[in-house]
Copies of this chain bind each other. A is one copy, B any other.
Amino acid sequence: MMVIMKSDYSKQDLDGILRRLEEVGLRGHPIIGVERTVIAVVGRIYPELGDELETMPGVADTVPISAPYKLASRETKPESTVVKIGSVEVGAGKTAIIAGPCAVESEEQLMATARAVKEAGANLLRGGAFKPRTSPYSFRGLEVEGLKLLAQAREETGLPFTTEVMSVRDVEQVAKYADILQIGARNAQNFILLEEAGKTGKPVLLKRGLASTIEDWLLAAEYVLNTGNHNVMLCERGIRTFETATRNTVDINAIPLVKQISHLPVVIDPSHGTGKWSLVTPVALAGIAAGADAVIVEVHPNPDHALSDGAQSLNFQRFRELMEQSAVVAQAVGRPLLSATTPARA
């Protein structure tokens, strides 16, 4: 950490800070510059230090030097993490496709979708049983009944599934059924939920919050990793910006950046990231080209009758087109689709 002194600081101020640093077991090296004096702080910095020093006389500002996340950092663990869900490996160099309805609505809707995405080459199933909804008057999911239907779809298709867990009170139950616990964007900083999900040992698919910086997102992952569970996948699903022509703004830069600074696999969600089905395929391809390890996409038999997020869901035909185009782009960037070894379409 660097402590930046005000231009009119006194000798006394400087001594006060050096003494304070000593009190807490750190060392300060003052550097007298032409315009500024700064103090370089050496030792194991703790998170509150900046706040504490900023209130001391003579201090203009503090600047952290080390990233606050450790376990999520590629500096700590240079080799890429591979998350295994049954026989599906995310992060091992091939591109995985996760597909299914936004919300599980009925046996018929789910089974039809599961079969269709399986046939088109998807590797994992997605489907919401517990749905976080901005309005209390919206459909909130089939809950446990939805989990059972997802398990039934897995049984039939062989596809492991991911589903959102919205609350600590549901962690145990969701973990009983699901292969991957998904943390939604609105719970991206629900720290207790992150820890409880981590403790189950199940893979966690962690969506980026609408207002989460990349640092916040990696710190959220840190909550899971800190429980000893290293099976974390980071999902870019768009952030909130001033642009309202699309539902969110996919931060495409985040994909290669996170791959560089963290060892965790990165997933792109073009459905929530755009909110418009006509943008889903191009943005999925962009994500693959930028280096995503997986794509998660919403598919529905009849998007115009969906109980949730119909506007951003692909129908079966459009999903097959997405698969075809993804296969070509993934091949082009040297990370072929996982399903490409056993060709998806005979």
Contact = CB atoms under 8 A, between A and B. Distances in A.
Contacts of A214: 243, 245
A181 B63 CA distance: 34
A317 interface: no
A42 interface: yes
Contact of A65 (B32, B38, B44): B38
A169 B166 contact: no
Contacts of A276: 54, 257
Contacts of A210: 210-211
B333 A285 contact: yes
Interface stretch (A81-89, A155-163, A190-198, A337-345): A190-198
A201 interface: no
Copies of this protein chain in the complex: 4
Interface residues of A, number: 116
Contacts of A120: none
B278 A50 contact: no
Contacts of A121: none
A157 B306 CA distance: 55
B191 A132 contact: yes
A314 to B, nearest CB: 10
A31 B240 CA distance: 34
Interface in A228-286: 238-246, 249-257, 260, 273-274, 276-279, 282-283, 285-286
Given A240-B242, A244-B213, A222 B136 contact: yes
Q: Which 8 A-B pairs have the closest CB atoms?
A: A211-B211, A256-B282, A186-B189, A210-B211, A289-B289, A286-B286, A332-B332, A285-B289
Given A56-B304, A243-B251, A245-B254, 6 more contacts: A52-B305, A52-B306, A167-B168, A168-B168, A168-B169, A285-B290
